[in-house]
Structure 1
Amino acid sequence: MGKTRDLFKKIRDTKGTFHAKMGSIKDRNGMDLTEAEDIKKRWQEYTEELYKKDLHDPDNHDDVITNLEPDILECEVKWALESITMNKASGGDGIPVELFQILKDDAVKVLHSICQQIWKTQQWPQDWKRSVFIPIPKKGNAKECSNYHTIALISHASKVMLKILQARLQQYVNRELPDVQAGFRKGRGTRDQIANIRWIMEKAREFQKNIYFCFIDYAKAFDCVDHNKLWKILKEMGIPDHLTCLLRNLYAGQEATVRTGHGTTDWFQIGKGVHQGCILSPCLFNLYAEYIMRNAGLEETQAGIKIAGRNINNLRYADDTTLMAESEEELKSLLMK
């Protein structure tokens, strides 16, 4: 891996940095846009609309929380800093993660002071709330903005605080998520769920039983998370108010820009969806989705497959959900919930 990275570095040094140029894209009416400024404006319009907040959903902000969780330790900052992956593009602040590695103990002291200040006040630096979106085309029509997925670049300094916050949240996440959810969980993955489905199918053949599956993939599920509903869910699940307040204030006033082959757009507000590029987003989405599944009443229903005296009617990997039942009628009843 190291030799491959060195090879590409030599190629870049020889040829210079390559900037991919996007071709024309379509506006909302299906007309081709070819001018750089028009393309940038279209990307901003599309992305801003995608993350636009529902105007009928007012923010619910509490005062600063005074009943705080235990202070952040310097050793936590050092651990978080050492766990950040090297050779990653910088966020909007332009600070490379390698700088912190060079500064070593000085960086730990400075970041510990900043993180502890955020911990006490629950207020985040605006640079840490900013994301740079880079559109990556999927297969198909590359002229449609909706046919791209985006990667997000965030401040490397912010990742230190986010990793610490994730570690503090983990015990609550583990407590609330059922074992049918394998998405973004330590020691679990898509292979587990594929193996589970194959085992179920093999047993069904062995005992000559019918099994009905429905595979569900929600469109832009991570982008549709309602922030105020998320905070209510965290409260109901027993997440400490201090941690919820930190998350809520991280999301308040989020901004993003889209980096295209023709330059970057203006900054715009993000009003919904989990924070792209943030390591906390998968576990927050899992909690959000778990609440929805609980309210659907899948645990109470008798529909599903009986395994070792237990009724199983769904397997999940984040937003990818597989419903299963022993009859077509039972599967339909699950889909109607």
Structure 2
Amino acid sequence: MSRIDRFLLSENWSLSWPNCFQMATSRGWSDHCSLLLCVDDANWGPKPVHMLKCWENFTGYKSFVCETWNSSHLEGWGSFVLREKLKLIKRDLSVWHRTHLNNLPARISVLKDRIGFIEVKGESSSLEEDEIAELHGLSEEVFALSRVNSSICWQQSRLQWLCEGGANSNFFHNFMSNRRRRNAIPFFLVNGVLVEGVQDVRAAVFDHFSSHYQAHRVHRPSMDGLFFRSLAVREGLDLIKPFSVEEVKNAVWDCESFKSPGPDGISFGFLKDFWDLLKGDVMRFLVEFHRNGKLAKGINSTFIALIRKVENPQSLNEFRPISLVGSMYKILAKVLANRIRLVIGSVISDAQSAFVKGRQILDGILIANEVVDDASKRKKELLLFKVDFEKAYDSIDWSFLEEVMVKMGFPILWRKWIKECVGTATASVLVNGSLTNEFSLGRGLRQGDPLSPFLFLLVAEGFNVLMEAMVARRLFHGYCVGSHDPLMVSHLQFADDTLILCEKSWANIRALRATLLIFEELSGLKVNFSKSLLVGVNVPGSWLSEASLVLNCKVGTIPFLYLELPIGGNASQLVFWKPLLNRINTRLLGWKSKHLSLVGRLVLLKVLVARNGMEDGFLRVGGRDGSVWWRNIAGLRSEGWFFNNVSHLLGDGTNVLFWTDIWLGELSLRDRFSRLYELSLFKGESVATMKALGWDEAGEAWKWKRRLFAWEEESVAELTLLLHNVSLQAQQKDMWIWKADSSSSSYTVQSAYKMIMTQAPLDQVTDMPSC
């Protein structure tokens, strides 16, 4: 079904109605659907309170925080005390915010009206000293409040490519408006039924995700007979050593200051600003966790933000749940993640290239391309199966993770910590800015938790161990690369992105399917065969079609995408890179250059220059023909108008290149004696150096790559005769001279302008630009 009707909205409309959305009605007997432009003005509930960067600019803010924090005297476990003190400080800061920053735009407008009144009065009569002082004070207050308002808009716009907003510009308002409208979920389909309205949408979201994260209690096969790599004793001890203030501080400073605060609303910018004040309570919380491995209720709470996976999501399965964890849990998780990062390479196989120090995303891509290239050149049959795991992070079975850590030799205390971090998590889903009811998680790893990538690697290692066991028992045959001392490659992994490589055989097809189903039963990771892809090299299409029926998967062709980069094909052809270029173009199209600040325009300019060369490195108005005059000037530049009109006045000869600079006549010696230049062993020497070597016929300056022919020796004689009368002036530096002005050797803008107008008169341009 094609889409031919659209709404075109102005920027003013987007700012006035940020919650508008488009929906299509059923077409009935018609040949097209009617489009409705709706405005969602429903009250979705209270929004979470977050800390603002601009608070630090207010006098008294830091003293208020210190007094409030020190006045709180609570008893109990460290995690409980810290949670309650953070809750109190956030509540008091909310009150402080309403007192100091309530309704900034209206306050700025009132102040500007007063300034306007005083200025109008000053036009008809002289102002009193107190009125002048009031005018100055009002101006300063407007400037200060405008900067605060600008900072709030920048923080709410979530811009990552700009460090901070330079002004409260239309760009930030448009960005916020578009982001709110894009992230809004006014309705969706559940089992083909349209769900809309505040209560129905919230209830449906809660039911979906509380069920989605519920554990599926089934019998798991035993992992006896599977051999995992183990940690060394020293590595295990490093994981459970006491927490130090330095590593905790490093974990805090590793986090973005004002990005995506979790349920407690505490930003890491706040923690950094008041680290000396909070450090004692934070360390007490971590020391107690080290000892007892327990988290107070609320520390491990999570907000789930829904990020669309497709352009126009119709169901909740088309959203990716990203977890926003609280600041105290994030500090703990960051410290633990920094520790496991240092040792995880010991237990993860070389087939895995994600999140392990020294390994890169390109490793798997390069190996896959080498395998495909080897099969193509040697005319060998090769199968590649790209696995699609369904909701990989969300479906992991915690008992499998625990069993893997046991087999890898992780210490008991470490496993206790991980069990507490993973198993006590609760979540609420953000729906149009407000929260659903809270529910407990029964499975899965939270995307957004610093620990999750490393814990997922431990789970994914289970698949690697299974594959190694299948290969060792000769139940599965990978692809052997090379003819001398061949290397077998059976699979490549980047987190959950898995590519299986093997020889063409029905035994491999059956073993591949069996291995994936066994891994699903072990780990909970379900393979979505209908979205997985089978590709063959030198394999008949009919055979691939039959194999795809056995696997219930799609059939692909070379080149195909793995990790968003092409595998196979001819990398020298443009079509090979077209999918990647399309993705880059899609990203660049989102840039609204007319709203960008000067910094943003320069970033866009650099992208254009890097991609298309200097001809696209100009900021134009209108379309491609909008800079005709400038293109004429650029044409003169490319034709060498400047260097064609300058030459050197010889002094001591140290800064003039003998062969390539124009210093003797109207042409360089390289152009006049091109054959000698090609044969010379001193191409880059200065005039002074060549003079010192000696440029008479027997001089050392004439060193050649080979023996000269007779006619070439004649050219040397001609050149030495030309140089006979050249003398250097040791006390005088080399100088540039301007040749375009016959009356003077000095450069002037007037003479350059006359020269340019003579070569390409701009007033004769007929294809005038239209703006």
TM-score, with structure 1 as normaliser = 0.88
1:39 matched to 2:220? The reply is no
Do 2:427 and 2:439's aligned partners in 1 also have CA atoms closer than 8 Å? yes
Do 2:195 and 2:201's aligned partners in 1 also have CA atoms closer than 8 Å? yes
Q: CA–CA distance in 2 between the matches of 1:80 and 1:5? A: 21
Task: Return the offset for 1:94.
Answer: 0.6
Do 2:213 and 2:442's aligned partners in 1 also have CA atoms closer than 8 Å? yes
Task: State the partner residue of 1:276.
Answer: 447
Q: CA–CA distance in 2 between the matches of 1:177 and 1:3? A: 34
Task: State the partner residue of 1:26.
Answer: 189
Alignment of 1:212-223 (within 5 A): 212-223=383-394
Task: Return the offset for 1:141.
Answer: 5.2
1:194 matched to 2:365? The reply is yes
Q: CA–CA distance in 1 between the matches of 2:173 and 2:487? A: 61
- After superposition, give the CA deviation of every residue in 1:260-300 in whole Å (9 maximum; x if it has no partner): 11621000111000133111111111111212431352441
Partner secondary structure for residue 302 of structure 2 = strand
Give structure 1 stretches of 5+ with no counterpart: 58-66
Which deviates further from its counterpart, 277-286 or 184-193?
184-193
Residue in structure 1 matching 2:504, options 301, 311, 327: 327
1:178 matched to 2:356? The reply is no
- After superposition, give the CA deviation of every residue in 1:154-193 in whole Å (9 maximum; x if it has no partner): 1122222112212332344211111111122234343221
Alignment of 1:157-172 (within 5 A): 157-172=328-343
Task: Return the offset for 1:126.
Answer: 2.7
Task: State the partner residue of 2:544.
Answer: none
Task: State the partner residue of 1:111.
Answer: 282
Q: CA–CA distance in 1 between the matches of 2:167 and 2:350? A: 43
Between the aligned residues of both structures, percent identity stands at 20
Alignment of 1:233-312 (within 5 A): 233-261=404-432, 263-296=434-467, 297-300=469-472, 301=474, 303-307=477-481, 308-312=485-489
Task: Return the offset for 1:35.
Answer: 0.8
Which structure is higher in RCO with an 8 Å CA cutoff and minimum separation 6? Answer: 1
Do 2:306 and 2:320's aligned partners in 1 also have CA atoms closer than 8 Å? yes
Task: Pick closer, same or farther for the CA change 1:14–1:224 going to 2, 3 Å.
Answer: closer
Give structure 2 stretches of 5+ with no counterpart: 1-158, 220-236, 516-771
Moved over 6 A (4+): none
Which deviates further from its counterpart, 190-199 or 306-315?
306-315
Residue in structure 1 matching 2:215, options 40, 45, 53: 53
Which residue identity does 2:513 align to in structure 1?
Answer: L
Residue in structure 1 matching 2:309, options 138, 155, 159: 138
Which deviates further from its counterpart, 298-307 or 89-98?
298-307
Task: State the partner residue of 2:375.
Answer: 204
Task: State the partner residue of 1:6.
Answer: 164
Which deviates further from its counterpart, 149-158 or 163-172?
163-172
Do 1:213 and 1:331's aligned partners in 2 also have CA atoms closer than 8 Å? no
1:313 matched to 2:482? The reply is no
Q: CA–CA distance in 2 between the matches of 1:11 and 1:130? A: 36
Task: Pick closer, same or farther for the CA change 1:312–1:2 going to 2, 3 Å.
Answer: closer
Q: CA–CA distance in 1 between the matches of 2:264 and 2:412? A: 30
Q: CA–CA distance in 2 between the matches of 1:273 and 1:191? A: 27
Which residue identity does 1:45 align to in structure 2?
Answer: D
Task: Return the offset for 1:143.
Answer: 2.4
Do 1:172 and 1:239's aligned partners in 2 also have CA atoms closer than 8 Å? no
Do 1:165 and 1:243's aligned partners in 2 also have CA atoms closer than 8 Å? no
Task: State the partner residue of 2:612.
Answer: none
Task: Return the offset for 1:2.
Answer: 7.8
Q: CA–CA distance in 1 between the matches of 2:344 and 2:299? A: 24
Do 2:349 and 2:464's aligned partners in 1 also have CA atoms closer than 8 Å? no
- After superposition, give the CA deviation of every residue in 1:234-275 in whole Å (9 maximum; x if it has no partner): 111111111110010122332101101162100011100013
Task: State the partner residue of 2:111.
Answer: none
Task: Pick closer, same or farther for the CA change 1:266–1:100 going to 2, 3 Å.
Answer: same
Which deviates further from its counterpart, 320-329 or 287-296?
287-296
Which deviates further from its counterpart, 89-98 or 294-303?
294-303
Q: CA–CA distance in 1 between the matches of 2:167 and 2:401? A: 43
Do 2:214 and 2:441's aligned partners in 1 also have CA atoms closer than 8 Å? yes
Task: State the partner residue of 2:259.
Answer: 88
Task: State the partner residue of 1:62.
Answer: none
Task: Return the offset for 1:309.
Answer: 3.9
Q: CA–CA distance in 2 between the matches of 1:335 and 1:310? A: 23
Q: CA–CA distance in 1 between the matches of 2:265 and 2:209? A: 22
Which residue identity does 1:47 align to in structure 2?
Answer: F
Residue in structure 2 matching 1:155, options 313, 326, 333: 326
Do 1:140 and 1:147's aligned partners in 2 also have CA atoms closer than 8 Å? no
- After superposition, give the CA deviation of every residue in 1:209-236 in whole Å (9 maximum; x if it has no partner): 2221111111111111111221121111
Partner secondary structure for residue 417 of structure 2 = helix
Aligned residues: 327
Which residue identity does 2:514 align to in structure 1?
Answer: M
Which residue identity does 1:336 align to in structure 2?
Answer: A
Do 1:214 and 1:322's aligned partners in 2 also have CA atoms closer than 8 Å? yes
TM-score, with structure 2 as normaliser = 0.40
Task: Pick closer, same or farther for the CA change 1:15–1:215 going to 2, 3 Å.
Answer: closer
